[in-house]
Amino acid sequence: MARARSRYAPDRGLTGRMVTTMFLIGLLYVVFVGVLLAALRGSWPIILIITGGLFIAQFWFSDRIAAYGMGASEVTPEQAPELHGTIDRICALADMPKPKVAIAESDVPNAFATGRSEKTALVCATTGLLRRLEPEELEGVLAHEMSHVAHRDVAVMTIASFLGVLAGIITRIALWGGFARSRPGNDPAGILLLLIPLISAVVYAISFLLTRLLSRYRELSADRAAALLTGRPSALASALTKVSGQMARIPTEDLRKAEPYNAFYFMPAFSAKESLGRLFSSHPTLEQRLDQLSRISTDLSR
């Protein structure tokens, strides 16, 4: 699924997980819509229009919505020469077309990539990250984000996360429009209609677990690919350590604003040290990431 001419190291494990996730999500999607059609037989045209419309909107616009929500503003080489210069070097190393380059005004030290393809890709760094990292550390972080673009896992994550959102929306529609009029004692369809919240909860839980499992692996894959491309795993490890340490110094209010977008970020932001979000994090632990980079450094030194 990665571009053939990209010099990022291919990852068969990531490709296999993306294919498996998409297959299971697709199967879950078919089952979910089938149950809705059986429960709401008279409303099947509306269901198909809504689900189809939401899927198209999610695929075409979710990356723009996410970039907007995270405050990304595209910048020119004149406005951010060092950032553009780093992206140019990575593109030359990877033999990739240059993505759009953006900066987000936030003290939270982070970076992210969005886009359905290389043509629509955008790579963004926050002002907090640019202020704190050395040039070689920044290069490691941006190489990590460019790996997401090269391997196409950004697009897969966007599609994979759609079903959970759809389950919640359809449930609200069913609750608002059908439950008050249903009579489960006399109508089998009414019984099925009452099961929609339970079915939606199961669908959401499975979708959530699938995307989390894929997300954690893809972050390790991006770390590995960036380290191999730049040849400096120690620089990426230094950036990870520095960013993780700085998170504790960021105001809680700023971290809470960033938390909804953790799946996109280079390093997740948590508003509390014991946040429940850590249990369901979209990223592997810092120790796992540093351990992998240490092994790569040892292999490269040989």
Concerning whether 145 is annotated as a catalytic residue, the answer is: yes
Cα–Cα nearest to 202, from 64, 19, 3, 28: 28
On whether the CB atoms of residues 68 and 125 are closer than 8 A, the answer is no
| Structural element, H or E, at residue 73 | strand 72-74
Q: How do beta strands 100-104 and 122-126 pair?
A: parallel
On whether the CB atoms of residues 145 and 100 are closer than 8 A, the answer is no
Q: Given its phi and psi angles, is residue 250 left (phi above 0), alpha (psi -120 to 50 degrees) or beta?
A: beta
Q: How many CB atoms lie within 10 A of CB 23?
A: 10
**Tokens 């907007």, residue?**
68
Computed on alpha carbons and rounded to an integer, the radius of gyration of the chain in Å comes to 21
**Tokens 């960036």, residue?**
226
Question: What is the b/e burial string over 167-187, where b = at least 16 CB atoms within 10 angstroms of the residue's CB?
Answer: beebbebbeeebeeebeeeee
Q: In whole angstroms, what is the distance from residue 96 CA to residue 235 CA?
A: 22
Residue 255 sits at the vertex; the CA angle it makes with 252 and 258, to the nearest 5 degrees, is 155
Given the residues 145, 219, 259, 287, the one annotated as active site: 145
DSSP string of 119-134, one letter each residue: TT-EEEEEHHHHHHS-
**Catalytic residue numbers?**
145
